[in-house]
Chain A
Amino acid sequence: MWGSDLVALRPEFYHVLESPFTGEKTVCVRALVPDYAVIHVQECDVYGNARILGPSYQDALLARAARKTIITTERLVGTYRLREEPKLTAVPHFLVEAVVLAPGGARPGICYPEYQQVDDAGMKAYLRAVKDGTLEQYLAAGEGRE
């Protein structure tokens, strides 16, 4: 954080302390604790052991920072599949409160390798609904859903 104006601008988040061990000045950042992390994955078992294929971004951290996690998944897979490669489990079952089967759940965005291109028509429909203030009708119509 050194060099960032945010340290001075947001005293509710950042605080400079001296290290009790070395006396070195250290920036402390206040933690946010989300009530829920909601993560869309490619594979999950019925207990909430979830596997992310491709980049996981901050998702494993979000699940650990939040009080509980909700998983939406492209596929439900057998637990034996996850046991074959336990290190590939990004979110373990004990962090998870709900598992929802939701194929296409990231559309009109991308979910590698299930769908690897943005659904251009779906994105344009969404952006148009935002611009025109017609989101309610957009949601009611279920546009962009499979």
Chain B
Amino acid sequence: MVEKVMSMTSAAKLVKDGMMLALGGNALHRSPVAFSRELARQGRRGLAAVGAAPGLATDLLCAAGAVDTVYFGFFGFENEYGLAAGFRKGCQEGRIQAIEGS
């Protein structure tokens, strides 16, 4: 087995413009938010995101303009936090193609 521990900055650099990402977790549960923050800070563009119920980490990439296509079943935060705000805004502005598959 090979040791693979690295910094958040280095791990986020593995993801290149235009790649397809599947961010884990569900809505506001175990969503890899810190990773998305770093990816957004690095200015990634043209990503596709996929998930059954993508969460905050995917929404943050939508809000940052990093994602242009989302494959999903349900995309929202639930409870008082409502719909996924960044995703919704991106769709309304025509920046994001929403491909619903459930």
Number of A-B contacts (CB under 8 A): 184
Closest to A111 in B: B30
Which A residues are CB-close (under 8 A) to B32? 38-40, 72, 105-106
A55 in the interface, Cβ–Cβ < 8 Å? yes
> Are A118 and B28 in contact (CB-based, < 8 A)?
yes
A122 to chain B, nearest CB (A): 9
User: A98-120 interface mask toward B, CB cutoff 8 Å, 1 = contact, 0 = none?
Assistant: 11111011111111100000100
B85 to chain A, nearest CB (A): 4
| 14 new A-B contacts at CB < 8 Å, known A55-B29, A110-B28, A142-B37 | A34-B19, A34-B21, A36-B22, A37-B23, A38-B57, A39-B23, A62-B51, A72-B8, A93-B4, A98-B11, A100-B8, A105-B34, A130-B86, A135-B60
Give chain B's interface residues, CB within 8 Å of chain A: 1-8, 10-11, 14-16, 19-35, 37, 40-41, 50-53, 55-57, 59-60, 63-64, 71, 77, 79, 81, 85-86, 89, 99-102
26 intermolecular pairs with C-beta atoms under 8 Å apart:
A6-B102, A34-B21, A36-B22, A39-B23, A39-B25, A40-B34, A41-B30, A47-B1, A52-B30, A57-B53, A58-B24, A58-B51, A62-B22, A62-B24, A72-B11, A79-B1, A93-B4, A102-B8, A102-B34, A106-B32, A109-B31, A118-B79, A118-B81, A123-B28, A135-B86, A136-B64
